[in-house]
Homo-oligomer: A and B are copies of this chain.
Amino acid sequence: MAQKTSTLQDVARVAGVSTATVSRTLSNPKMVNESTRERVAEAVRVSGYRVNRAARNLRTQRAQSVLVLLPDLANPFFSAILEGISLNLSRRGYSMLIASTKQVHDSGDRLIDYLDDARADGMIILDGGLDPAVVASLKNAPQSKPILFACEWVEDGNFPSVRSENRRGTGTAVRYLHSIGHRKIAHVTGPDGNVLMHARKDAFVAECEKLDLELKPEWIIPGDFSLRAGCLAAKTWIAFEDRPTAVFCASDLLALGFISELSRQDFKVPQDVSVMGFDDIDLAEQFIPPLTSIRQDRLLIGETAASMLLERLTTQSGEGTEHAAVVPVSLIIRESTAPPNSRP
């Protein structure tokens, strides 16, 4: 039952060759003779040999794993991204380590340790809200291993990144609402200081100006991407004297919360107000009413992030590799939006 796993030595003994030959057979088969290759393959089979990663990692100075850092494991937005990352990593024999910045915060700046202590070869960060001091420590780490931001990013540091078309998506949203007749549009923002919040808010304001839409300052309602903030924003909207006929939320969760609260107060969507979100999470389609949204291809974001990082890991210091990938978004029209006053 609990027998030892066999080592290269064992395989070498069985096959009657040296460990070097076995190693070569496994990692670079065309270096060895056909006949020995077969003998070794057979020996590997009978002994049930599995490479010992710790030994290989020590010798090759790699970990064959990547750390993914999330702000919050409980946010469903991230799951598809993880799926994409994991898919590409495992395809190349890499493992995916997960940590959440919340916990990092709790336990000091242990973040850089993952890279420094040879547990991971690189890092994909999905949290743009990292403490600047932590970011700096990452940048100046003794061994500068590749770090890449996905979805969110930090302004300084000039890290490579994968992003969605936040500006274009926001512009598309506003133009769509405008095209079906809305002239007064509110925006519920992400959390203060968040890069996505700024990108989307700025794009929102810019598009409103371009279309020459009225935009009262209070129609920019501060939020934080969460359901709860969406509920609060709905209360704000209800309290307005002059209510916008459409609301563009910076995330789907905000939009869902917004609609929930409106329903509780007996407002109807889209009859009383059109609501749209950003992300197109799984739930958007199933909600009542199904939510109009800007879809981010989260799987693709994840896959892109993983392959960009692997690129940098395998080519020396990432010469000539793409620095910032932008993943397209698309407008998904469902039932939470309609022309204004559609129920006269």
7 A-B pairs besides A82-B98, A227-B283 with CB distance below 8 A are A3-B142, A4-B143, A48-B142, A55-B58, A75-B79, A96-B99, A260-B286
Q: Knowing A4-B142, A98-B98 are in contact, say whether A53-B118 is a contact too (CB < 8 A).
A: yes
Chain B residue contacts of A53, Cβ below 8 A: 63, 117-119
In the complex, A100 has a CB within 8 A of chain B: yes
In the complex, A152 has a CB within 8 A of chain B: no
Closest B residue, CB atoms, query A76: B76
In the complex, A288 has a CB within 8 A of chain B: yes
In the complex, A46 has a CB within 8 A of chain B: no
User: Could you name 6 residue pairs across A and B whose Cβ atoms are closer than 8 Å?
Assistant: A5-B116, A50-B113, A53-B117, A54-B63, A55-B58, A73-B79
Give this chain's copy count: 2
What is the CB-to-nearest-CB distance from A53 to chain B, in angstroms, rounded to a whole number? 5
Chain B residue contacts of A287, Cβ below 8 A: 260
Q: How far is the CA of A50 from the CA of B109 in the complex (A)?
A: 13
What is the CB-to-nearest-CB distance from A296 to chain B, in angstroms, rounded to a whole number? 14
In the complex, A86 has a CB within 8 A of chain B: yes
Q: How far is the CA of A263 from the CA of B289 in the complex (A)?
A: 9
Q: Knowing A96-B98, A98-B98, A286-B260 are in contact, say whether A117-B50 is a contact too (CB < 8 A).
A: yes
Closest B residue, CB atoms, query A49: B116
The answer to whether B86 touches A103, judged by C-beta atoms less than 8 angstroms apart, is yes
In the complex, A247 has a CB within 8 A of chain B: no
Chain B residue contacts of A76, Cβ below 8 A: 74, 76, 79
